[in-house]
Structure 1
Amino acid sequence: MAEHNDLGRLGEDKAAEYLQAKGYKIVERNWYFHHKEVDIIAFDGDTVVFVEVRTRTSSDVLHPRDSVMPLKMRYLILAADNYVRYKKLDNRIRFDLIACISHRDGRWDIEHIEDAFTAQAE
């Protein structure tokens, strides 16, 4: 597996731990609809939260929160719509972003952006 894939998996693990510590109930990880993936699907109370996790090293120029492009947002929205229909859910939904930054000394910075974008994003 490529090094960036390992880093991404580690970031997703850190994000899942972070959400669980905040009381979220994780129900899916790496959920696919065709080629569209949702990193984490969780419940924050009664709200279904679709979480995009972006991971970078501290030496990367682009901050992970700045790496989510409109096409990725649209794919997340399509996947979320399919998930809600498939599970027959009638809950409020939200799209969050978790930006994870790995430091050489083993520290991690985690930034959780609730309502990072809406289903109207284009």
Structure 2
Amino acid sequence: MPDARAEVGRFGEDVAARYLSDRGLTIIERNWRSGTPRGELDIIARAPDGDLVIVEVKARRTLGVGAPVNGVTPQKLRQLRRLANTWLREHPEIPAPGVRFDVVGVLIGRGSSPSVVQHIPGVVV
């Protein structure tokens, strides 16, 4: 059984994928892993304007350590850029007229409370 952290992350990614799909993005791939550079892209999507969207998802159960989006550091954003470049090289068949990086934070609701989603499109990397 996955640990609580993995369950929170997976649930947050599911919420984020539904949120993005409901706003017209097409999910291309989820949880893509690279060996070099080592890491993972949570969600790769296509925006309605044709741009490729690399999405980092952060999920939390509480605000004890701050909003979920605050967990995305400048170092993480640099890693996302390297991973995105690797993904693009490995998928030349997928056109990418433009690439943007989005962050989605999910505060997981308790009981009947819905989860709260914060979407920051076009984060500067």
Q: What TM-score does the superposition give when structure 1 sets the normalisation length?
A: 0.90
Select the structure that is richer in strand: 1
**Structure 2 equivalent of residue 3 of structure 1:** 4
Percent identity between the two aligned chains: 34
Is 1:48 aligned to 2:58, yes or no?
no
**Structure 2 equivalent of residue 96 of structure 1:** 102
CA shift for structure 1 position 50: 0.1
Count of aligned residue pairs for this structure pair: 118
* Structure 1 residues 57-116: Cα deviation after superposition (integer angstroms, max 9, x where no partner): 134322111111122111110110111122123420000000000122342000110012
**Structure 1 equivalent of residue 64 of structure 2:** 60
Partner AA of 2:98 in structure 1: R
Q: What TM-score does the superposition give when structure 2 sets the normalisation length?
A: 0.88
Is 1:82 aligned to 2:66, yes or no?
no
CA shift for structure 1 position 4: 1.2
* Structure 1 residues 15-71: Cα deviation after superposition (integer angstroms, max 9, x where no partner): 000111111110100011212110000000210000000001134322111111122
8 A contact 2:41–2:56 mirrored in 1: yes
CA RMSD of aligned residues (A): 1.3
Compared with structure 1, are the counterparts of its residues 90 and 55 closer, same or farther at alpha carbon in structure 2 (3 Å cutoff)?
A: closer
User: Gaps (5+ residues) in structure 2?
Assistant: none
**Structure 1 equivalent of residue 22 of structure 2:** 21
**Counterpart secondary structure, 2:64:** coil
Flag as ranges the 4+ runs of structure 1 deviating above 3 A: none
Partner AA of 2:83 in structure 1: A
**Counterpart secondary structure, 1:115:** coil
